Amino acid sequence: MTVRAATSLKRAIGPVQMMLLGVGSMLGAGIYGLVGKAAGVMGGAVWMAFLVAMIAALLTGISYASIASRYPRASGAAYAAQRAYRAPWLSYLVGLGIVCSGLGSIATQAKVVSENVNVLLSLNFGFNVAGAPAEILFLSIGFLLLMSAIVYRGITESLWANAVCTVIETAGLLMIVAVGMRFWGQADLLSGPIAPSNPTGAITMGLVLQGSILTFFSFLGFEDMINVAEEVERPERTIPVAIIGAMLIASVIYIAVSVTAVSVVPWSELAAAPGPLSLVVARAAPWFPAVGFTFITIAAVANTALVNYVMASRLLYGMSRQGLLPEQLGRVHSRRQTPHIAIGVLLVAVVGLQFAGDITQLAGATVLLLLFVFTLVNGALIVLTMREGDMPGAFNAPVFVPALGAVVCMVMIAGRLVEGDWRSPAIALGMIAAILLLYRLTRRQRHPMTPDVELAGPASR
């Protein structure tokens, strides 16, 4: 059976579902912890960090929107890289780099979900596995099995689960704004932290850069959206609107939440709190039960994991159709219309990561890898625009947008490197080397590209 003969993916994603997918992917667990960390850097001006980060992230987001409109395929970024650079190994690196970032994210989120669920269940098996309590590992694997079942069941079921979780997590953040709005005006929103190097608490360019590098990662999620392009109705129009719209919605919510947080709780306390938004709710709405916020956190983290799982499975499927991965990964279940083999492979990989112990450094490394991929993808759009010009009827970003996006990503990489932790960069380089080695070792398993992904002429839509 060839990939072209296989059942195709089901086009079931409309504009509203696509917007919810994007918002749900961005409004994940990041905001719940980043507000405190950003407040420690920016003081009362924490909102400014989110604003600048949004502008920086939007550059690459617009590049992704342009690529999705030009080439609405399940492996959008990898396809664009191959079309631009005409080097299969580089496209392979881009694609598997994104997959690795998704795997690291899912593995991290599974542990966070299991820890929060165990707060409700209070399980205690009395022994450890791979350095972690056995009950946490048990709950993590159970969560991953549930996620894989939903993703296998179908894109419609995945969208319903995403919609429910998105409504819950968005309602939680809006509730924080609602209960804390009466405190607005009680904090100086234009002052930074007072330190020996900044005795006046002035907001400097260096401070804003540091804060925006930290909060930039709360906008990640737009890269997940283009990988479901083959399941979207009118993707060349729907995806660009959804990417930009989701980023703007997330920005408004982030800024409102950050203003509320420092207005309710002094920024110094917020920075030291293990759960900064929980502390905000406890101060502004002491009547709200703590268990309610636990449920909101579970929904937020689970939603990000679900979107990452959908994204990674579609990316493996799309790369198989490009001829970069074994043909089996491009097969689609005849009844469920989902890439079932890719879903199963991801389940095995992410369950294996649960036995890897502490994956904090892996998470940091995947962020660096993702920024490297963003730089390559922005560069690919520059090459394609210069070579092919604007695509008729598509969303076309001016060349300066991907150029600035690439520069911003390189600045973010430099900012992460100067933090002084050598382990994350070392892991990131190791992952790049492993991906390239895998490309070399699996060359016999790859199959020729099918006619619908040939790169010689304009993309067919």
What gap in Å lies between CA 294 and CA 314, rounded to an integer?
A: 31
Instruction: Report pLDDT digits (tens) over 341-372.
Output: 999 999 999 998 888 766 666 777 778 888 89
- The answer to whether residue 212 scores a pLDDT higher than 60 is yes
Instruction: Report pLDDT digits (tens) over 302-336.
Output: 998 999 999 999 999 988 888 888 888 999 998 88
> Which phi and psi angles does 446 have, rounded to 5°?
-75, 150
The closest of 166, 209, 172, 203 to 188, measured between CA atoms, is 203
Residue range 220-238: mean pLDDT, rounded: 87
Centroid of chain to Cα 19: 15
Instruction: Report pLDDT digits (tens) over 177-203.
Output: 999 999 998 888 888 787 777 777 788
Are 25 and 304 spatial neighbours (Cβ–Cβ below 8 Å)?
Answer: yes
Q: What is the residue-wise DSSP string for 369-393? A: HHHHHHHHHHHHHHHHHHHH-PPTT
- The answer to whether residue 445 scores a pLDDT higher than 70 is no
R_g of the chain computed on alpha carbons: 22
Q: Given pLDDT bands bounded at 50, 70 and 90, which one contains residue 4?
A: very low
pTM, two decimals, is 0.86
The closest of 311, 386, 321, 3 to 155, measured between CA atoms, is 311
**Taking all residues of the chain, what is their mean pLDDT, rounded to a whole number?**
86
pLDDT at 458: 39
CA distances from 315 to 76, 230, 417 (A): 8, 11, 28
Q: What are the residue boundaries of the structural domains of the chain, listed by start?
A: 15-311+353-447
Are 288 and 413 spatial neighbours (Cβ–Cβ below 8 Å)?
Answer: no
For the domain spanning 15-311+353-447, the CATH number is: 1.20.1740.10
What gap in Å lies between CA 338 and CA 394, rounded to an integer?
A: 27
Q: Given pLDDT bands bounded at 50, 70 and 90, which one contains residue 257?
A: very high
Could you give the count of Cα atoms lying within 13 Å of 408 in the half-sphere of its Cβ? 25
- The answer to whether residue 454 scores a pLDDT higher than 50 is no
- The answer to whether residue 6 scores a pLDDT higher than 80 is no
What gap in Å lies between CA 289 and CA 295, rounded to an integer?
A: 11
Q: Given pLDDT bands bounded at 50, 70 and 90, which one contains residue 222?
A: confident
